[in-house]
Chain A
Amino acid sequence: MTISLAVPDILVARAKSGDLEALEALYRAFETPVYNLALRVLRRPEDAEDVLQDTFLEVVRSIKQYRGEGHLWGWIRQIATSKALMRIRQDRVRETEELHEESAVGAGNVGGAGEMRGTEGMSPGAVPAQIDLERAFERLSETSRAVVWLHDVEGYTHEEIAEQMGKTVSFSKSQLARAHVRLRRMLDEGVAR
């Protein structure tokens, strides 16, 4: 992501005092990265827009608590991540998505982590075009997408992901491994095409 996320201190100070123009300037500065993160995790634009709105409502309410330690984007991103993960937890209907995904990758998937060890002549194949990876990524479950995006793109550690999700570190690690096995398999088999 090549968006500049630097914000002048004076703008943050004005936002902390409740200045609506300054708060709008913060919104304009961070609406795209917040929306992008939420969309990559949740996939549906309307859900991502709701997370965007909820995130900035929280930012406006809590900006006084921001002490200037670390980048402002890190603080806002944490709120956005929390809102996106909360939406995953709340939306029970999407549990069916995981079942769909399991069937999409084939019955041979026995859980990711041990499936490669012991196989002869493993051939990962060349990584296909970017558009295929994007489609394959979208076919992962929301939880898997969240873990992959937070770890591989946003740079979260497994400890941070586990804390945000209310899960264990090993859950985060196994989700990431399973997700990459699925991504590789979908790309190799052309499921995403």
Chain B
Amino acid sequence: MMHCTMDDVLALAAGEGSAWARQHVAGCPACRAELEALYQRVAQLKALPVRRPARDRWPAVRNAVVAERRRRRERWGVSGLAAAAVLAGLLVFRPFWTKPVDAAELARVKEQSATLEQQLQRYDPNGRVTSGRSAALAAALEDRIAVIDGELAQLGPAQAQARPADLVTLWQQRVELMEQLVSVHVTRAAYVGL
């Protein structure tokens, strides 16, 4: 005599059993017992005691959150300083620049950088679910961007005038890192369907 498989029994329990299985179980005490045993197992699994964590993990979560917020504030603080310094330099020294090609390139990479910043803000990476690996990669890129912002801030208007190529190079590097950062976040978002 053919009996139900566990697949059949599970399908019956879910109300999706085949016509053969429904008919068979009505006349087969063994398979009816199997179905009843399944119901009991599931009920007992649901009734297993609730386990509680032995240690409080909130302090660790809180510390990580506070550290992340501090780091973000510092990064944006440095970025703001860098942007202000470069803007001041441009306003003061722009008329005296003698290399129009550098000025054009500088304007281009700065615009590119601003576009990428906007793209990143629209995506709002701080409010999204991300994997540990993506987060680590993003953090490394953010650190490198912060270093470049610091260098831009230190360059100052006088040196920027004397070495416009250095200024352009730094902005180009910034754009390159920003592109990678956007890619990390947006690729991840596309991958998980966010």
Q: Which residues does chain A contribute within 8 Å of B41, judged by CB atoms?
A: 127, 133, 152, 180, 183-184
Residues of B within 8 A of A177 (CB): 5-7, 10
Bound CA–CA A173/B61 (angstroms): 36
A48 to B48, CA, bound (A): 17
Chain A residues, CB < 8 A from B48? 40, 130, 133-134, 137
Cβ of A95 under 8 Å from chain B = no
B-side residues, CB < 8 A to A, are 1-10, 30-31, 33-34, 37-38, 40-42, 44-48, 50-55, 57-58, 60-62, 64-66, 68-69, 124, 126-132, 194
Q: Does A181 make an interface contact (CB < 8 A)?
A: yes
Q: Chain A, 138-157, contact with B by CB distance < 8 Å: what is the 0/1 string?
A: 00000000001100110000
> In the complex the two chains form, what is the Cα distance from A17 to B69 in whole Å?
13
Which residues of B are found within 8 Å of A82, using beta-carbon distances?
A: 129
Per DSSP, are chain B's interface residues mostly helix, strand or loop, or mixed? helix
| 3 closest Cβ pairs, A-B complex | A64-B127, A177-B6, A127-B40
Is A92 in contact with chain B by the CB < 8 A criterion? no
Chain A residues whose C-beta falls within 8 Å of the C-beta of B124 in the assembled complex: 64
Q: Does A159 contact B (CB under 8 A)?
A: no
Instruction: Tell me whether A173 and B127 are in contact in the complex, defined as CB-CB below 8 angstroms, given that A3-B50, A184-B37 are known contacts.
Output: no
- Inter-chain contact total with CB atoms closer than 8 Å: 152
- State the Cβ distance, A159 to closest chain B Cβ, in Å: 13
If A57-B64, A125-B37 touch, whether A133 touches B57 (CB-CB below 8 Å) is no
Chain B residues, Cβ within 8 Å of A121: 30
Nearest residue, chain B, Cβ from A114:
B5
**Chain B CB within 8 A of A113 CB:** yes
Interface size range of chain A in the complex: 35 or more
- Of A5-13, A20-28, A100-108, the stretch lying at the interface with chain B is A20-28
Which residues of A (82-106) have their CB < 8 Å from a CB of B? 82, 86
Q: For residue A52, which residues in chain B have a CB less than 8 angstroms away from its CB?
A: 53, 57
Q: Which of A31, A36, A119 contacts B57 (CB 8 A)?
A: A31
Question: Chain A binding site: helix, strand, loop or mixed by DSSP?
Answer: helix
The contact of A180 among B2, B6, B47, B128, by CB within 8 Å, is B6
Given A116-B5, A178-B6, 13 more A-B residue pairs with CB atoms under 8 Å apart are: A40-B48, A56-B58, A57-B64, A61-B127, A62-B129, A63-B127, A117-B5, A122-B30, A127-B44, A130-B48, A137-B48, A184-B34, A184-B37
Contact indicator B3/A116 (Cβ below 8 Å): yes
B45, A122: Cβ atoms closer than 8 Å: no
Q: Select one of A20, A28, A53, A134 contacting B60, CB under 8 A.
A: A53
Is A65 among interface residues, defined by CB-CB distance under 8 A?
yes
Residues A58 and B129 in contact, CB atoms below 8 Å apart = yes
Given contacts A115-B5, A124-B34, contact A152 B46 (CB under 8 A): yes
12 A-B pairs (CB sep. < 8 Å) = A20-B65, A54-B132, A79-B129, A86-B131, A114-B5, A116-B4, A124-B33, A124-B37, A153-B42, A153-B45, A173-B10, A180-B10
Q: Which residues on the A side are within 8 Å of B126 (C-beta)?
A: 61
